[in-house]
Each structure stands twice: as structure tokens, then as C-alpha cells.
Chain A
Amino acid sequence: MNVVCFVEPGDELSAQAVGFARSLGSVRTVAFDGAYQPAAWARSLAAQEADAIVAAGSDRGNELLAHVGAILDRPVAANVTAVDGDVITRQRWGGSLLEEARLHGSPQLLTVAPHTQPATEISDVETLQAEDDGSPKVLERVEESSTGVSLREAKVVVGGGRGVGSADGFAIIEELAGLLGGAVGCSRVVTSAGWRPHTDQVGQTGTKISADLYVACGISGATQHVAGAKGAKRILAINNDPEAPILAVADYAVIGDLHEVVPAISAELRKAQG
């Protein structure tokens, strides 16, 4: 099977997509130069001879393959974890659910679910030409002035949920995060209530974290939240409900009222830090 795999050089998810593509057949890795112009890049990709066109299940990968699918009028399977002939397995609900589906016709258009495949070295990248067709393209990149630790990259995230009770209640969450040099996170309930900005939200429609430790305080553990939290290596749940779903994905648990437990941990940390 001849596979064309779109890559963004230096991108970890692209390296995972290449590994997956190689398991399907012989692979041509391709990339583009210049300003990102999804519809134009996709037109060039769609013109390649291939039995399958593969990209990472990243923002750009999913976008490009959707354009290719529209141009060729072919189905696209996004965030695939396995391929067996014309039957694919893919993620739904941010990975909380899997789907087996038959992908009809050829070429197969697939994106690879992030962090489900080992990365391979990206080599022999061929640069394709894309003709500017006047479709929207990236005109400039504006760097954001970062304040504090990035949620996505923080080694420790201390998250608060409905149990925190109010915007002011986050003072104790901020204090603990500060002592650990970490970032503050929250659940969707909290952003919907306006207690914290959306940039703090951990979840399927928020940020997907990769911390060494995630401390989930007063968070029940809805699938929406867990989809963003499960990338953490360890999860400590502080919850007054021993039946809360978060405990099913946690490594450590403290059963109790976060308003007592969190300040006590901060006090203990201060003692330990002298």
C-alpha cells in the first residue's frame, strides 16, 4: 500500500503519525513551505497518487484531511488508533469512547490519534508545492505575553471544580499551585460559571495537560474533564465523595473537604520548604 503522510517538521504528533503510516505500507513523507494555507495545501495533497493519505490528529492534520476529504468527496476517519483492512478504530468523545467503522473507498483518508502510537524519526521529507488559490492563509503570528506557568507544560497542575464553591474560593488553589511552582486548572463547570477564564480549563474542550502530578480538588471527574486530565502521569484526587468518578482514574486519594485539606497541604509544604 502506498501511503502519503503529511508532516510538520519537528512536531511530535507528526512523528507518531509517520510511525503509524509505516505500519500500513511504504510511506512518502511530505511537507509544505511558506504560510499555512489549508485549502491550497490540501489541493496539492489530494493530487498525490496514494492508497492512503495520513496526517497527525492535530489541529492542522485534522483540518487538512477534512479539506482533502471535501475535495475528493471521500470519507475521512479522524483520530484513528488502528486499521484492519477497511475497518478502522477511532476515538470519539476526546478518547472516552472508541468506534469501529468501515471506511469505504480509496484512498483512505486518516488522521492518527495523538499519543496512541510510538514516535518514529521523520526522515526524507519531500517538500510539495501548493499554488496560492486565494483561500484564507495565515498572515501573521502574534506571540502572546505569557504570565506564569503554561497549563499545557506545567509539571504540576492544581485543579479546582464545583466543590471550590466560588471564584474567591480559588485563593487556596492558587496558593498550593504557587508553592509547587505549578499552574492552576479548573473544570468546565468553573469556567461556565465565570469563576476562572477558559484558558484555565482542563478538558476535552479545554487544555490537555501532561503534568507529572495533577491535584484534582473538588472535581467529580466528568468524562469531559478526564479527557484533558488523563495525560498527567499521576493524579491525586481530593474529594468529599468516596464514590466520585475521579477516583476511578486517580492514583492517590484524600477523602475530605478541600477547604480543609488544601490549606493543610500548603501549611505542610511551607514547613517542609522551611
Chain B
Amino acid sequence: MIHPQATPSTVKMGLPIPNSKLGMWLFLGTEIMFFTAFIGTYIVLRIGSPGWPDNPEVTHIEIWAGGTNTFVLILSSYFVVIAHEAMSKKNFRKARNFLGLTLLLAFLFLGIKSFEYYGKFQHDILPSHIPESNAQAIAKVERQLERIVMAEYDALFPDEPNMDIRRQKVASAEATEPEKTLKALDDEFQNLRSHISANVSMSAELNQREEIVKLKDGTQFTGFATSPPGADPIIYQLTAGGKRSVKKADIDVPMAGKEPPPINLDEVKEHIERMHEHPLYGSLVAHLEVSHPIMYGNIFASTYFLMTGFHALHVIIGIILFGIVLLQWNKLNESWSDWIENCGLYWHFVDLVWIFLFPLIYII
């Protein structure tokens, strides 16, 4: 028998959840892939890099900061759940309070993260800033000292770009006190630079290598090469006195004798520390420090900032989402329940990512 009134269909299409919740879960699915790309890359790079820095004194990773942040996020997740439960019981005041607490905890997380980032910036643990060998550390401090010297020249002679003229002015008898200070600093920098490029210890003089030179005509002499490396003919200061010019082609036996020791990082460090105490220019180089070389340091910094930076960005987005709800304040009603549930899902995901980031970065 056909009823005149159509009965509603009992067949239900789709999932038994609001579209917004499905949309949020689909988004979280993409976020899982997003973060797994970074975390997976970090894991793979780390396994493939024997010698990866894991000493907290080297990486300046503080476990107390990571542990506190973990607790902060877990507590905030708990508060979000309490707020959502309060919304379902139409206790909007309680929901508002707990969402407010969640927001405060989110700011606390960002505050601790900012403190950590500040420490990284202070120690120059940034991608492409970290020397990975002694040679790179020496080259870096040379560049930094050059920048200080050039900045002083630019400050004292803003209208004169020519370095030769600038150097003449600081070396002249009419030079002012700041110019004399700069000359002393520049001389010290040039001395350091010469030793670095010649790879000669700071304790040895440049070009002072006593050599026994045997010539093809059977004669030999002892002296110091005074020409730059690679020069031909070579000018020798004879130990017995006088000078002699010798072509490389006339030398029978490769030059022997004591080579000056090569420059090393420790003496550059000591040299910089002595420069700090110089009465004239010590204040100009007060912030100059020799960076400790960290093998794989740059890729460590890259992966660290990539993972934690994107996570912090997600925390900021979460703050905006909760902020939009809290702006309703007294007008918060049950129409906001879905929003709060979806924000809660997003926030739990942010917590989930940190649950994995914390052990990977801070503990392992």
C-alpha cells in the first residue's frame, strides 16, 4: 500500500560526524605527512652522520626547557578537553576559563621556545654559521675580525672609500686617538691574516725558515727564505750574512730544514683572548669569540630550526584559533561547540608532534 505522505529515508550518506570535523581530520592527515617529512629526514640524516653532535654543552640544547614545554603542552591539551566537555554540558563560563588557560599555556610555550632560540642566536648556532673544522673556525674568526676592522674604517672615514688612503691617514702623524687605535687593530689583524694564509704558527715569524740548500753545482748554503712562497728566483738571507738569489732550477736537493709549525685553533683562541685585554682596541673586539667547530653542526642547526620552527608556527596558528573563540567572551554559546572541538583536535595534534620532537631532539 502506498502512503500518501513520503516517509523520510533511513539511509544515511557520509560519516556520522560534522563536515567540519571530517575536514579537520583530513587536514590533520596532511599535517601528519608534513611533519613526518621533516622528522623522517632528520632521523635519516642523523643515522647517516656518524659524529652527529649530541653533547648538550656543544649544541646548547637544554632538557629542562624541552621537558617544561612538554608538560605545558600536555597540560594545555588536558585543559582543551575540559573546555570541550564543559561546552557539551553548556557550562560556557567554565569552557571560557579553560580555553583562556590553554591560551596562556600556549604563550608560555612560545616564551620558553623564544628563550631557547635566543640562546642559539647568541652562540651563533645557526645554519651556515657553524665551522665544522679547525680551519673553518680560524677562517670564520678572521672574517669576523675583518668585519670589525672595516666597520671601524667606515665609521671613521665615511666619505673616503679608498683603503690605501684610509691606511695612510691612520698611519700619519696627525692621526687622532681613535685612528691610532684603529691602526693598532688593523696591524694586528694583518699580522693574524698573514700567519693564517701562510699557515705559520703565531709563535713563529713569517718567512723565517732556516734551510740547508744544496745546489746542482755541488755547493750548499744555510739561510732563511725571504721571498713569498712560490717565488722564483728565491731570495735567501744567508745565516753567515748577506743575501743570495737562487733559481729553483739550480736547486739540487729539495729544501730541508725546520719548517715553522702550522697555525692551530688553540693559539688563535689565545691570541684573540690577548686582543680582548689590549688597552687600545680591546673594547672593539670584546664580543669577538672563536667559534667551537661542530662536525655536522650546520645540518644539525638546519634540521633543528626546521622542525621546531614549523612546530612553533603551528602553535601560533593554534593561538589565533583559540583567540577567535575567546573574543566571543560572554557571547560564547553552543554554536561554537564544533569550532572548539576542531580546535581541540588541532591542538592535540600540535601536542602529538611535540611528543615526538622532544625525545628526538632533546634526549636521543
Q: Do A and B bind each other?
A: no
> Could you list which residues of chain B lie within 8 angstroms of chain A, going by C-beta atoms?
none
